[in-house]
Structure 1
Amino acid sequence: MKKIILSAFFLLAIFQFGFAQDDAAELAKKLANPIASLISVPFQNNTDYGIGSLKGSRNTMNIQPVVPISINKNINMITRIVVPVITQYNITAPGEKQAGLGDAVMSAFFSPTNSEKLTWGVGPALLLPVGTNDFLTTKKFGMGPTAVALKQMNGWTVGGLINQIWSVAGNAERPDVSQMFVQPFVNYNWKSGAGIGANMEWTQNWKASTSTLWLNPTISAVTSLGKQKTQFVVGPRLNLAAPEGGKADWGWRAVVIFLFPK
């Protein structure tokens, strides 16, 4: 694990060279803001090991494009969809493997174009039952509210995101969904575009009365691959809480974000 992190620091340092600091700093600032007016296509890969009594493993690739849309001169709508591609071993039974799409979550945040002190956005969140494996889908369509708020100053970004989703249709034989997701986050970015930060991901299943909690420290860098502006993010994942029999020993996160500034 130490070798992975040290290698990541080395690679991210290399990526900083040859990229204008002003551009990198501005892009890093926007990327720390989930509702910035910036088109981006993140590929977030999470790999977790030692899950449950069977010591299983799970790899989740979250494809999560973000597209801002100008409603008028005062309001932007920032749309985001998260589509997980999952492969897991030894989770449901010894030697068993499941792979495919998980259910997607689509959000739309309505946010003021100009917000000086506090950046915020509110809107709907939808649960889309697109999972391709019975173990990877709720088979329920759901909806609910979502909101985000953050403050940026002197290189720091501090904020949080929340949504609550209830199932409203779907397979009657499957349990209803009532689930809350809370994600506080903090980041610091240098003028070079390099950054360090962390977030917590708390998922509360109200129907089953279970909580899942992850802590994700990260380091990041903004660079150009040819003409394509890109951010790289890497760090460990710490599973602080999980439903009985589902806690992971450790994991790691690696993210590549393709940026399309105006």
Structure 2
Amino acid sequence: MYRNFAAFFVVALFSAPLWADADLAKKLSNPVADLISVPFQNNWDNRVGPTEGGRRYTLNIQPVIPIGLNEKWNLISRTILPVMSQEEIFPGSGDQTGLGDTVQSLFFSPKETTAGGVTWGVGPVFLLPTGTEPLLGTEKWGAGPTGVVLKQSGPWTIGALANHIWSFAGKDSRTDVDSTFVQPFLAYNTPNSWTFTLQTESTYDWEAEQWNVPVHFLVAKVFTVGKQTYQIQAGPRYYAESPDTGAQDWGFRLNWVMLFPKSK
């Protein structure tokens, strides 16, 4: 199934009539750009769990919707809804398929960059217990602050996104959520709308005192088929550090993004 899925996107990318938009590619390197996008981010991990015998597939549905508040400010809504399938993440755990917990971020971001060319946004982040099985979610409600700062200069984008979530309600029998997420990123955009990105998506669990540090190298291309614009992105990730219950060594990401740019 996964092989057919990947083959479909390769055929779509290299055989369909395409045109490039370097400006859209650069906007996609900015998490708070004024651009509606709907990524379908596919992640494959092996060697999951304390015995390294598990496997996990996660499809993150991640709509990004900018809302103009006034002439100076945007509100950027970023949602992450995971659809997960995993097996034997620890001995005797069996298989689980369903929804994970939703993370909803809201960034208040100026429409114009600072005098130094810096783009930023701050706001709240929420953890919603949408997990359909106990092993797919925390069964906790959570909230905290989030922020992003970046600078785009020529073909380069450098920046970082971070948040911290504390749980405040949910099942008493479940472990409290107290986690910090940090995502530094560096991207290079070419004139023909290719993007090369190096980033980490690091999480520190203050309850367990453990890091999870996947490092990604991703290659992306913006293209249009008919009237619809897309980006396809793919690349490996390496777990520089992970908890005993996490994935080990190498994984892979394939991201399919639908773009809805404003009419020119």
Q: Per the alignment, do residues 176 and 14 of structure 1 end up closer, same or farther by CA in structure 2, a change over 3 Å counting?
A: closer
Q: Which residue number corresponds to residue 36 of structure 2? A: 39
Shift of 1:94: 4.5
Correspondences of 1:170-181 after superposition (within 5 Å): 170-181=170-181
Correspondences of 1:166-205 after superposition (within 5 Å): 166-205=166-205
Q: CA separation in 2, counterparts of 1:113 and 1:54?
A: 46
User: TM-score under structure 2 normalisation?
Assistant: 0.91
Secondary structure in structure 1 of the residue aligned to 2:237:
strand
Q: What are the Cα deviations for residues 4-26 of structure 1, in whole angstroms up to 9, with x where unaligned?
A: 9xx99x949954985444xx100
Q: Which residue number corresponds to residue 88 of structure 1? A: 86
Deviating runs (4+, > 6 A) in structure 1? none
Q: CA separation in 2, counterparts of 1:247 and 1:115?
A: 38
Range 51-60 or range 113-122, more displaced: 51-60
Q: What are the Cα deviations for residues 19-39 of structure 1, in whole angstroms up to 9, with x where unaligned?
A: 444xx1000010000000000
Q: What are the Cα deviations for residues 64-89 of structure 1, in whole angstroms up to 9, with x where unaligned?
A: 00000000000000001100011111
Correspondences of 1:53-202 after superposition (within 5 Å): 53-94=51-92, 96-116=94-114, 117-202=117-202
Q: CA separation in 2, counterparts of 1:108 and 1:245?
A: 30
Q: CA separation in 1, counterparts of 2:252 and 2:167?
A: 31
Residue 144 of structure 2 aligns to which amino acid in structure 1? Answer: G
Q: Per the alignment, do residues 114 and 206 of structure 1 end up closer, same or farther by CA in structure 2, a change over 3 Å counting?
A: same
Q: CA separation in 2, counterparts of 1:66 and 1:209?
A: 31
Unaligned regions of 5+ residues in structure 1, if any? none
Q: CA separation in 2, counterparts of 1:156 and 1:13?
A: 27
Secondary structure in structure 2 of the residue aligned to 1:33:
coil
Residue 78 of structure 1 aligns to which amino acid in structure 2? Answer: I
Q: CA separation in 1, counterparts of 2:222 and 2:163?
A: 29
Does residue 28 of the first structure (1) align with residue 25 of the second (2)?
A: yes
Secondary structure in structure 1 of the residue aligned to 2:175:
coil
Residue 41 of structure 1 aligns to which amino acid in structure 2? Answer: V
Residue 231 of structure 2 aligns to which amino acid in structure 1? Answer: Q
Q: Per the alignment, do residues 209 and 33 of structure 1 end up closer, same or farther by CA in structure 2, a change over 3 Å counting?
A: same
Q: What are the Cα deviations for residues 217-250 of structure 1, in whole angstroms up to 9, with x where unaligned?
A: 0101000122110000000011111112534232
Residue 48 of structure 1 is aligned with which of 21, 45, 63?
A: 45
Residue 107 of structure 1 aligns to which amino acid in structure 2? Answer: S
Correspondences of 1:9-24 after superposition (within 5 Å): 11=10, 15=14, 18-21=17-20, 24=21
User: Number of aligned pairs?
Assistant: 254
Residue 111 of structure 1 aligns to which amino acid in structure 2? Answer: S
Q: Percent identity?
A: 46
Q: Which residue number corresponds to residue 239 of structure 2? A: 239
Unaligned regions of 5+ residues in structure 2, if any? none
Shift of 1:42: 0.2
Contact 1:12–1:221 (8 Å) recurs in 2? no
Contact 1:16–1:192 (8 Å) recurs in 2? no
Residue 102 of structure 2 aligns to which amino acid in structure 1? Answer: A
Q: CA separation in 2, counterparts of 1:107 and 1:99?
A: 25
Q: CA separation in 2, counterparts of 1:197 and 1:16?
A: 24
Contact 1:12–1:220 (8 Å) recurs in 2? no
User: TM-score under structure 1 normalisation?
Assistant: 0.91
Q: Per the alignment, do residues 29 and 13 of structure 1 end up closer, same or farther by CA in structure 2, a change over 3 Å counting?
A: farther
